[in-house]
Structure 1
Amino acid sequence: MKKLFSGLGRKIVYLLILGLFMGILNYSLISWLTSKENSFEINDVPEKKVALVLGTSEFLKNGSTNLYFKFRVEAVARLWKAGKIKYVLVSGDNSKKDYDEPSAMKEALIERGVPANRIVLDYAGFRTLDSVVRAKEVFGQDDILIVSQQFHVERALILADFKGIEAYGYNAVDVEVYSGFKTKVREYFARIKLWLDLVVGVDPKFLGEPVSIP
């Protein structure tokens, strides 16, 4: 019995190591595939009608400022001031009355000089997939600029490509490794799930009536 369990244990360890290796390879592959489609340099960014900014909460559970939120809205403000975009589509989660990512981002963008009448809100961006697909299917945009941190932009660009959307990514400043460790681990698994969603053909939770962006 000891030999049996010993052999089984080794196989499980080998499978775990193989799975970890494949996951790391997948993570690197997505970064490589999108390496020419995103940039930190605003001069590299093409002019687009609409920037899709991917939502996140304004504050962390401990009440402190969420730097992912702060850096994303600052990135959008830079694009606006540089004349790279005409509208901002803010897509985030508003599944609860007391939780409204899009409205919080809109307020932060207005404070940074983006006109309110150039900000369009998508309250059903529950996941990155929802945000990207709804940009096309609900808001009629098949040529967009995606704004978020680089790791997030890269995954969104893969989704956009598979959904027939012409997209380029502007990378917001990232959060230093210690503070963003949990997010990076979550991204590792999100990149695996990305392919499963595409293969299975997962749709957004909600679509609804078309919304026109002038």
Structure 2
Amino acid sequence: MIKHFTAIFIRYKGLLRCVIGLGFICFFLLILIDQAIGFYVRQGIYTDSKTIPYRPYGLVLGTSKYFAKNTPNLFYQHRLEAAQQLYRQGKVDYLLLSGDNRTLQYNEPRTMFRDLRKMGIPAEFLYLDYAGFRTLDSVIRAEQVFKAHSITIITQKFHCERALFIAKYHNIDAICFAAEYPSGYSFVRFREFFARLMAIWDLLIEKEPHFLGEPEPLPSPIAR
């Protein structure tokens, strides 16, 4: 048996080298794309609410409130805490809650609305985008449907980078406030490598949001 596998290895050694070499090249390209996107948008990302410029509209990117088996999703919790912080400090006037609304039971914008109300933010400053199925949808719809022409995106830093990359490509005036990244979730950051690759592909083929529809302009900025 060992001799049989040795013979196969010797016979296909050249092919195996090519496959391994191709794998290394693909891995290097993933790293390169990931780092290039982060470098390109780095100046638009803020981690200190005291230094972030005022923008009238905050775009909160949705995610599920729970992981499997009803485990709380800290990415969700930290995004809402960041949104509350910016609102209370007067860094945004209105919050646009954008997320997936795939079923009656799963509704990210509605869940964010309810939790932010419990956190003390009045309903008149909260607006819901039920068609934010992906980051691309949320960012483009904020500008084209809700007419939020100057926005602060609110999500974790790795997600900020992809969202800002999409915004820059579409000439959308946006910055991003990086919410806290929970420790112990390295798989989320690993998945982002492929999400960025898909984002580039979507931009190359000029993919549009699933739904646009009629404009629903948000209120004018509050006079200060």
* Distance in 2 separating the partners of 1:175 and 1:31: 19
**Cα displacement string for residues 22-44 of structure 1 (whole angstroms, at most 9, x for unaligned residues):** 11111111111111111110122
**Gap runs ≥5 in structure 1:** none
Q: CA deviation at 1:21?
A: 0.8
RMSD, matched Cα:
1.1
Matched, 1:201 2:206: yes
* Distance in 2 separating the partners of 1:155 and 1:87: 22
Residue number in structure 2 paired with 1:65:
72
* Distance in 1 separating the partners of 2:149 and 2:204: 21
Residue number in structure 1 paired with 2:218:
213
Residue number in structure 1 paired with 2:110:
103
Q: CA deviation at 1:182?
A: 2.3
SS of the residue corresponding to residue 53 of structure 1 reads: strand
**TM-score, normalised with respect to structure 1:** 0.96
* Distance in 2 separating the partners of 1:6 and 1:101: 51
Instruction: Letter of the 1:152 partner, please give it.
Output: H
Identical positions, percent: 38
**Cα displacement string for residues 81-139 of structure 1 (whole angstroms, at most 9, x for unaligned residues):** 10011100000000111100001111111111211111000001010000001111111
* Distance in 2 separating the partners of 1:99 and 1:124: 13
Matched, 1:181 2:186: yes
Alignment of 1:49-88 (within 5 A): 49-88=56-95
* Distance in 2 separating the partners of 1:182 and 1:92: 21
Q: In 2, are the aligned partners of 1:157 and 1:168 still within 8 Å (CA)?
A: yes
Computing the radius of gyration from Cα coordinates, the structure with the larger value is 2
Using the TM superposition, name which of 4-13 and 66-75 deviates more.
Answer: 4-13
* Distance in 2 separating the partners of 1:119 and 1:132: 17
Alignment of 1:39-50 (within 5 A): 39-50=46-57
Give the count of matched residue pairs.
212
**Gap runs ≥5 in structure 2:** 1-7, 220-224
Matched, 1:38 2:45: yes
Residue number in structure 1 paired with 2:5:
none
Residue number in structure 1 paired with 2:167:
160
Q: In 1, are the aligned partners of 2:148 and 2:217 still within 8 Å (CA)?
A: no
SS of the residue corresponding to residue 168 of structure 1 reads: strand
Q: In 2, are the aligned partners of 1:130 and 1:203 still within 8 Å (CA)?
A: yes
* Distance in 2 separating the partners of 1:114 and 1:38: 24
Where does structure 1 differ by over 3 angstroms across 4 or more consecutive aligned residues? Answer: 1-4
